[in-house]
Amino acid sequence: MSRNDELLVGPTIYGKIMAARMSEHERRAALNAMRNAEAIVDGLLWLKRATEHLGARLFFKPSLKH
């Protein structure tokens, strides 16, 4: 995630991580954990949308009226 995306997605969360008293190693670990969590959520949302799309195509029953 680019720096611009970090500012748009969660400026409060990233700001709190940057402002917290911790070592640079801990800060990098926290930022990596946030990026990993966002990637997992993005993957799950993609899977949900793909499943909905597939379900709509598989179970679509066109009526004779249309």
Q: Among all chains, which residue has been given the structure tokens 């598989």?
A: 58
Domain extent at residue 9:
3-58
Strands (E), 1-66: none
Grade residue 19 by pLDDT with cuts at 50, 70 and 90: confident
5-49-52 Cα angle (round to 5): 170
The per-residue pLDDT for 24 is 93
Domain count, the chain: 1
* 63 inside domain: no
Between 38 and 6, the more confident residue is 38
Q: Is 41 helix (H, G, I), strand (E, B) or coil?
A: helix
* 66 inside domain: no
| Other Cβ atoms closer than 10 A to 15 | 12
Mean pLDDT value of segment 29-45: 93
Residue type present at position 23: S
* 64 inside domain: no
Q: Is residue 30 over pLDDT 80? A: yes
Whether this model's pTM surpasses 0.75: no
CA–CA dist 65, 53 (Å, integer): 23
